[in-house]
Every structure is written in C-alpha cells, then in structure tokens.
Amino acid sequence: MEESLKKSDRLAAIGELSARIAHEIRNPLAAISGSTQLIAQGGAVSDPDRRLFDIVLRETDRLNGLISDFLAYARPNQPEPRPVDFHSLVAELAALVTSDERFEGVVIDNRVDSTFRPLLDPDQFRQVLWNLMGNAAGAMPDGGTITVEAGQSDEIRGGGQRRITYRISVADTGLGMDEATVARIFEPFFTTKSTGTGLGLATVHRIVEAHGGRIAVESTPGKGTMFVIFLPTPPSSGE
C-alpha cells in the first residue's frame, strides 16, 4: 500500500515536471518562429532558402501543437460546470473550422436543439468537440459529414429504474477503424498518423471522466465512426 502510494506520488511529480518543461519550451519556441517569420518577410531571403524557412516554420508549428496537446493532457483542470448553450458551442466550432484545411469538403451537421443547456465545463467541452471533430475530419480525406447530436436520454436500468443522462455524439462518414485500433485509441501517445500526438482522445477520456461520465465508440471500416458521451445530469433534473 505504502509502496504503491509512493509510486503514484513519484508519477505525479514526473507529470508535473514534464508539464513544467513543456510550458518552458513555449516562450523560446514562440521567439524562434516569430523571428523566422520576420526574416522571411523581410524579402532578403533567396528562393532556395525560403523553402528552408518554411520547414522551420512548419516544424515549430508542429512542436507548438504537440506542447498544447501535451499540456492539455498533463495539466487537467478541475471542471467548472455551468449551463452551456450547446448548440452555439458547436456552431462556434463549425465557424472556426472553415479556415482549417483538414475540414475541406467536410460538412458539419449541427443537430443540437437550441434549447439544450447541459451543466458542464464549456472550455473543456470545447476541447472535447474540437478533438473529436478534428479526428473525424482527419478520417475523411475526400470530405464527408460530421453529425453532432446532444440532448437528454432516458436510460432504463435494472429493476425498471429510470436514469436521465446527457448524451452527446459525434459521428463521421470516414474511414473507420478496425478492432485492434479501437482497442487502443484512448491510450496516451497512441496514434496511426505520421504527425499525430496520440493525446487527443486520451484528453477527451480524461475530461469525460472528470465529469463523472463515460465515452463509447462504434466504428465500421469504410463506413465511419461514432463517439458517444454519457454524462450524469444534476440530481434535481435527474433521478
């Protein structure tokens, strides 16, 4: 018991240390990419060098994304739930992705009722939706549809007991996954992409658990994937 406690303390310390290092990498990285951009814009760079500058910029961008993903995973905040206009949250993200090349040819079907006001942490669920929608778009290189639904669902449990939960789903018409992949997707650092971090779904999982909920996935190779999140409702509107 004492032994395992010590081990978890040590793991927490390593987590905190790596989060701090990641955070400290941010500022010099911003200086590198900012300076590179200024030099490249200065017009003094010849064509073959410009290609090298582009590589520096692309790779610093990638490092930045990796650090953001890592920090979101390693430094989870305690959720601060409040009533959220979920339709607007999805609409906001749908507007944001129009400038993102991964979403070319991707239609976002926001089916969330505009009266739905679940109690959850809006910043954390913006991240959840962002990660799920980003993955969905990545699985649809030739375009397709992302369908987002959310509402209350009645679960009939053993003994005929009713339980009301929030149900949030994100479905795509993309490549899908085989069973071996599905079995590993929530593992931190598991990725099948050449430039993936493998932290998106691990972070989603962590946020859903922090809200007391669970996440399920259904996927068919060649057809698409659907993630479904179930969250407890506050006791007054629930059981």
Contacted by 84, from ligand ADP, Mg ion, none: CB < 5 to 8 Å by type: none
Point out the residue whose Cβ comes nearest to Mg ion.
200
Cβ closest to ligand ADP, residue 36 vs residue 175: 175
What is the x/- site pattern for ligand ADP, positions 107-146, by CB under 6 A? ------------------------x---xx--x-------
CB 221 to ligand ADP: min, Å: 9
- Quote the CA–CA distance of 46 and 36 in Å, as a whole number: 14
With binding defined as CB under 6 A, does residue 173 bind ligand ADP?
no
CB 198 to Mg ion: min, Å: 8
CB 217 to ligand ADP: min, Å: 8
Site for ligand ADP in 12-41 (CB under 6 A): none
- Quote the CA–CA distance of 124 and 138 in Å, as a whole number: 21
191, 210, 218, 228: which one contacts ligand ADP (CB under 6 A)? 191
Is residue 29 within 8 A of residue 63, CB to CB? The reply is: yes
With binding defined as CB under 5 A, does residue 174 bind Mg ion?
no
Cβ closest to ligand ADP, residue 122 vs residue 174: 174
What is the x/- site pattern for ligand ADP, positions 45-84, by CB under 6 A? ----------------------------------------
Is residue 79 within 8 A of residue 122, CB to CB? The reply is: no
Point out the residue whose Cβ comes nearest to ligand ADP.
200
167, 198, 211, 230: which one contacts ligand ADP (CB under 6 A)? 198
Contacted by 94, from ligand ADP, Mg ion, none: CB < 5 to 8 Å by type: none
Secondary structure of the chain as H, E, C letters = CHHHHHHHHHHHHHHHHHHHHHHHHHHHHHHHHHHHHHHHHCCCCCHHHHHHHHHHHHHHHHHHHHHHHHHHHHCCCCCCCEECCHHHHHHHHHHHHHHCHHHCCEEEEECCCCCCCCEECHHHHHHHHHHHHHHHHHCCCCCEEEEEEEEEEEEECHHHCEEEEEEEEEEECCCCCCHHHHCCCCCCCCCCCCCCCCCHHHHHHHHHHHCCCEEEEEEECCCEEEEEEEEECCCCCCC
Amino acid at 160: G
Site of interaction with ligand ADP (CB under 6 A): 131, 135-136, 139, 172, 174-175, 177, 181, 185, 190-193, 196-202, 225
